[in-house]
Amino acid sequence: MFRTTDRQKTLGSLELLLSPRKIDRLERKHWAGRFRRKALPILIEAERTFAPLFCPDNGRPNKPVAATVGLLILKEMFDLTDEAALDQFEFNAAYQYALDVEPDDAHVCQKTLHNFRARMSEAEEQGTLTYSALFDRIVQAIVEDLGLRTDRQRLDSTHIRSNMAVLTRLQLFTHQITAFLRKLSKQHPRLAAKLPGGLRSRYLDREGYFADAPSSKSRRRLQQCAADLWRLVDRFKGHRSVSGMPSYLRLKRLLEEQCVVEEDAPTDPDGDGPDGVPVRPKEPKTERIPADSLQGSDEDATYGHKGKGYQAQVAETCHADNPTQVVTHVSIEGAHASDQHATIEVIEALSDAGCKPETLLADTNYGRGRNIVEAADHGVDLLSPACGPQARGEGDGMRLEDFEFSADGRCLERCPAGHEPIEQGVVGGEAIVDGEGPQEGNPCEEDDGADAGGAGVSDHRRHFARISIEHCAGCDRAECCLAKWREGDDFVTIRWRPAAGATAARRRRERTASFKEAYRVRSGVEATNSEYKRGYGGGRLRVRGRATVKRVVRFKFMALNIARWLKAGSRAGAAARKAARQAA
């Protein structure tokens, strides 16, 4: 049953048990006093956010939510295990003072902590925000308390590995088959006894590890594993009980992702050799293995260019006037996900949280033309180098970037010779005269050759601009110009897509000194990623599974933000005391 924290003090509170001198030291010089003053009121205020996790009118009253959530934050702040965090909570007066808990009440069993976290993860997956809402509340509190400016922010991704073994392909096959056979032997020993003896001996009754094959024999061993995998999947695919076992479903998934099943009929389906079954392992160099394929013990982990696991999209403030910077957004995605698809999602999330930036700095992968245009639609200047290879020129090397476009790529300002268009608009729509901006619309990709009809937010049509032919008569680049002339017209016409125009404008802009000066602070987000991994154990987590990883990463960044908040407050307090002493 849910109940809020009881604020009634008793004779057992630390304010009475500790001496005034000790209390003064905790308040002035220790993190516990600053945590109690700054962070704890936010946790108490947010307690009702967690009410859906408990029955409203039945059962034993819950442990105080503020203390439990605060303990989880301190656990991540000091990178502790559950056992160490619970021990500190029960016997460390600093933890008890920070969370405003009396020593006799400072006890939480590990099962209670586990159940609370599991309920939070389950609620988040079902759409009920608990710790995500708390993360946003803490960010808003820090921004208001320190007067931080959020109009300039930076964005980057960092790789995260869960508590999973990094397996070779052969190890992946053998571990999954072994896990299935062990489960089968426990739950259905008669079925396991009927399996071919060679198959059982390779994975259960063996010395050493089957995956320790030398490189000269690994291909033959991999073919043997593929054959064993097919035989097991085929043997139990219609079994009422076995076909629903999680370990069997992983075998089936592994077969679909890593092997090619031929249409030939098997000649030895009940054998135990590498031949006689219509299956072979895929050739990674020529046949596609999905990036989100099974990677081992963590079924949600994927494979990307940074390795196996997950990646976090991290946005933080980066204004020079801020006394410290705060992480405003954290989201988790597979390691295979491209940064190009995260830009607009992050901007929308920041807007929903009430801290949308005016300028967002990001690296090249975020800066494709479509993202620049859509960010401009949200009122955000996406400051990043242009994404993709530079377009090839025609003739003497004229490129689209030789033309001057508006930042959102929708309007042509000048041709390479410096002449403004006499008319421009949207292909298939109304013309816009005298340099006025064309109608609003979402751009399509630069390589999307189809012109879509209709206007508004789903507009995918090209834009056009017309330049008087009089300006082209004496131009020495007329023969290689991208603007085309049609017989009988007194103008030349150039067509482009807004995404391509935005990319061209960005390539011109990124060569300027002002862009380089403004962009230099983007690299500071790398220090935040390093702080998160080195100081808070974020590079290699103690948990696995997407929902759990998402929760742990959010709590670690909550701890990082609060630690920065407390340090900034400590510096401000020290500066105030120094100024007071000098004035005296």
Cβ atoms of residues 156 and 175 within 8 Å: no
Q: Is the pLDDT of residue 399 over 50?
A: yes
What integer is the mean pLDDT of 98-119? Answer: 94
**In this predicted structure, what is the pLDDT of residue 460?**
55
Q: Is 456 left (phi over 0), alpha (psi -120 to 50) or beta?
A: left
* Percentage of residues in the chain having pLDDT higher than 70: 90
**In this predicted structure, what is the pLDDT of residue 206?**
62
Residues 6+ apart with CB under 8 A from 239: 191
Q: What digits encode the pLDDT tens for the residues 31-44?
A: 999 999 999 999 99
Residues 6+ apart with CB under 8 A from 103: 12, 14, 17, 93, 96
The residue written with tokens 């000790």 in the block is: 22
What integer is the mean pLDDT of 378-396? Answer: 77
Cα angle at 451 between 447 and 453, to 5 degrees? Answer: 145
Cβ atoms of residues 498 and 522 within 8 Å: no
**Range name among 113-127, 183-197, 240-254, 433-447 with the lowest pLDDT average:** 433-447
Q: Is the pLDDT of residue 16 over 80?
A: yes
User: Which two tokens mark 67?
Assistant: 């203390």
User: Which two tokens mark 63?
Assistant: 């442990």
**In this predicted structure, what is the pLDDT of residue 392?**
58
Question: Alpha-carbon torsion 92, 97, 100, 103, what sign?
Answer: positive
Closest CA to 116 of 151, 82, 77: 82
**In this predicted structure, what is the pLDDT of residue 269?**
83
Q: What digits encode the pLDDT tens for the residues 57-99?
A: 888 889 999 999 999 999 999 999 999 999 999 999 999 999 9
For helices 131-146 and 31-45, give the axis angle rounded to 10 degrees. Answer: 120
Q: pLDDT higher for 368 or 443?
A: 368
Spatial separation of the C-alpha atoms in residues 23 and 17, rounded to whole Å: 10
Confidence of residue 221 (pLDDT cuts 50, 70, 90): confident
547 burial level (CB within 10 Å; 0-12, 13-18, 19+): middle
**In this predicted structure, what is the pLDDT of residue 455?**
34
Radius of gyration of the chain (CA): 31
Q: What digits encode the pLDDT tens for the residues 260-295?
A: 999 888 888 888 888 889 999 999 889 999 999 999
What integer is the mean pLDDT of 306-311? Answer: 94
Q: Is the pLDDT of residue 462 over 60?
A: yes
**In this predicted structure, what is the pLDDT of residue 582?**
78
What integer is the mean pLDDT of 200-205? Answer: 86
What integer is the mean pLDDT of 193-213? Answer: 76
Spatial separation of the C-alpha atoms in residues 406 and 506, rounded to whole Å: 9
Q: Is the pLDDT of residue 458 over 50?
A: no
Buried-exposed string 222-257: b where 16+ CB fall within 10 A, e elsewhere: bbbbbbbbbbbbbbbeeeeebeebebbebbeebbee
Task: Write out the DSSP string of 404-457.
Answer: EE-TTSS-EEE-TTSPPPSEEEETTS-EEETTPPPPPB----TT--PPPP--BT
* Percentage of residues in the chain having pLDDT higher than 90: 69
Closest CA to 328 of 473, 545, 148, 550: 148
Q: Is the pLDDT of residue 371 over 90?
A: yes
Q: Is the pLDDT of residue 47 over 50?
A: yes
3-state secondary structure of 572: helix
**In this predicted structure, what is the pLDDT of residue 432?**
43
Cβ atoms of residues 139 and 132 within 8 Å: no
3-state secondary structure of 160: strand
DSSP state of 538: -
**Range name among 204-208, 248-252, 304-308, 359-363 with the lowest pLDDT average:** 204-208
**Range name among 74-83, 133-142, 196-205, 278-287 with the lowest pLDDT average:** 196-205
Spatial separation of the C-alpha atoms in residues 200 and 54, rounded to whole Å: 47
Spatial separation of the C-alpha atoms in residues 88 and 94, rounded to whole Å: 9
The chain-wide mean pLDDT, for the chain, equals: 88
Spatial separation of the C-alpha atoms in residues 556 and 538, rounded to whole Å: 7
What integer is the mean pLDDT of 492-519? Answer: 93
3-state secondary structure of 321: coil
Cβ atoms of residues 139 and 39 within 8 Å: no
**In this predicted structure, what is the pLDDT of residue 46?**
96
**In this predicted structure, what is the pLDDT of residue 294?**
94
**Range name among 82-96, 143-157, 488-502 with the lowest pLDDT average:** 488-502
Q: What digits encode the pLDDT tens for the residues 522-560?
A: 999 999 999 999 999 998 999 999 999 999 999 999 999
Q: What is the pTM of this model?
A: 0.88
